[in-house]
Amino acid sequence: MGSNGKSRGQHKHERVRERLRQEIQSGRWAPGDRLPAEADLPKRLRASKITVVRALNDLAREGLLVRRRGSGTYVADIKRPPLLPGRHLRLGLLWPRSLRADRMAGSFHAAMSAGALREWGLSDVQPEFFNVGDHQTTRAVYEAPHRGVTVEALGEPWISAERHPDIDAVRAAKFDGILTLGIIEDDFLRAVLALNVPTVVVDYPNDVLAARADLVYVDPAMGYRDAVRRLRDAGCRRIHYVGALLSQPATSARMTIDEWRQYKRGRTRPDPDSILRLSAFRTAMNAFELPVDESWIHFHTYDPGEVETLAESLAKLPPDRLPEAIVGHGGATLERFEAVFRAHGISIPFAGGQTEPYTGPHLAVTVSAQEVGATGAAVLLSRFQRPGRPLLSVGVKMVFQANAMPAAMRTPALAPAAGS
């Protein structure tokens, strides 16, 4: 009788499962719809709660439903199935800046976020921003129950220069997985990793962290090598490198902006990406047998006045020491350098990192911030799919954009380079 009872149970369970499947496939329940509560379904389907739960779990494993603890059961989008069939994920995006609606477009961090959301199938989901106090972690939430995922972005407070959200807020969110986007504060990252949640550190090349987490970083090697080759072919030998210095972050979220400005004076550190790009530059110069004098290596903060002061000092060098080209970290720095040199009647090529798409005048070594974020999102998903796999360090390659060098910039060396 026990065997027959089991057979009848399986039959009823299969009947309930197929009835629900038919209702989903017929369109009675559209993608994203929430099914009636489990307390109501047994009466409607004329089955026991155990039978209904078993049928729901089967359909969740097939990817037709998404079961979300504390919220309910949702119909999945079969064209874009759940990230992990049968499981609802809470994923975190941790920002080094405060989260505002006007910052969700235009910045490198925003583009990385967009890439991660695209990879997770949430490109069309509008975030909900939360009103918080000046010293509270800023938040935005993306809900996609039909995809089996909730993404919560956390940023530093409105009045803060810590360059990361509060670790207690990260802990309280109870994430299943985390992407840190451009956060380079080691103590904070170690605290995140101590939560023992699958984490991908994005846009921070760090060999120490590579032993504890997956890394996704911007790899400049190929792009900067091709840029140096182009400059060499144009006759440039005295090629300078200009990297960036970052100011120290605030020591606590309670430090006022005025206190932070006072604290950070004279306290700087090299941008980790600038260090990596300098290494790529040195390797390329060596590969093409070009000299590198240490006096040709410069670092500056992002302060416009400091950038222009450095540019002025280089533009006023005598002809036998004047740079024949400048390779830099990129962005607005190159534009300020070019403006200063142009004011002195000097036209030399500038090459450096840019974010795709780039249509400006410089020789560009481009990277897609969206692809950086999407790669981080894919690496995190692979951690759920293959939890025992080795840790990964994945470089998203920068690519030299082979635009034509202006004729005025294709000038031979003005004088013998040092060491030549």
Q: Work out the pLDDT band at 311, boundaries 50, 70, 90.
A: very high
**Is the C-alpha dihedral spanning 21, 27, 30, 31 positive or negative?**
positive
Q: Work out the pLDDT band at 82, boundaries 50, 70, 90.
A: confident
Q: Work out the pLDDT band at 104, boundaries 50, 70, 90.
A: confident
Mean pLDDT of 71-90: 80
Provide the mean pLDDT of the chain. Answer: 88
Q: Work out the pLDDT band at 11, boundaries 50, 70, 90.
A: confident
pLDDT at 302 over 90: no
Mean pLDDT of 19-29: 84
pLDDT of residue 150: 93
Q: Work out the pLDDT band at 145, boundaries 50, 70, 90.
A: confident
pLDDT of residue 412: 41
Write down all domains in the chain, each with its CATH number in brackets: 2-75 (1.10.10.10), 89-217+371-396 (3.40.50.2300), 221-367+400-409 (3.40.50.2300)
Q: Work out the pLDDT band at 3, boundaries 50, 70, 90.
A: very low
% of the chain with per-residue pLDDT over 70: 93
Give the range among 185-189, 231-235, 360-364 with minimum mean pLDDT.
360-364
CB 109 within 8 A of CB 95: yes
CA-based nearest residue to 90, from 11, 28, 164, 179: 179
Can you give the three-state secondary structure of the chain, one letter per residue?
CHHHHHHHHHHHHHHHHHHHHHHHHCCCCCCCCECCCCCCHHHHHCCCHHHHHHHHHHHHHHCCEEEECCCEEEECECCECCCECCECEEEEEECCCCCCHHHCCCCHHHHHHHHHHHHCCCCCCCCEECCCCCCCCEEEEEEEHHHCEEEEEEECCCCCCCCCCCHHHHHHHCCCEEEEECCCCHHHHHHHHCCCCCEEEECCCCCCHHHCCEEEEEECHHHHHHHHHHHHHCCCCCEEEEEEEEECCCCCCCCCHHHHHHHHCCCEEECHHHHHHHHHHHHHHHHCCCCCCHHHEEEECCCHHHHHHHHHHHHCCCCCCCCCEEEEEECHHHHHHHHHHHHCCCCCCEEEEEECCCCCCCEEEEECHHHHHHHHHHHHHHHHHCCCCCCCEEEEECEEECCCCCHHHCCCCCCCCCCC
pLDDT of residue 8: 46
Q: How far is CA 187 from the centre of its chain?
A: 19
Q: Is 72 left (phi over 0), alpha (psi -120 to 50) or beta?
A: left
Q: Which residue has the higher pLDDT, 5 or 297?
A: 297
Mean pLDDT of 58-69: 80
CA-based nearest residue to 145, from 87, 61, 58: 87
pLDDT of residue 340: 95
Strand 128-129 versus strand 138-144 pairing type: antiparallel
Give the range among 10-24, 203-217, 317-331, 332-346 with minimum mean pLDDT.
10-24
Q: Which residue has the higher pLDDT, 317 or 2?
A: 317
Give the range among 5-9, 206-210, 234-238, 326-330 with minimum mean pLDDT.
5-9
CB 203 within 8 A of CB 218: yes
CB 227 within 8 A of CB 205: no
pLDDT of residue 244: 94
Q: Which residue has the higher pLDDT, 6 or 76?
A: 76
CA-based nearest residue to 227, from 298, 369, 325: 325
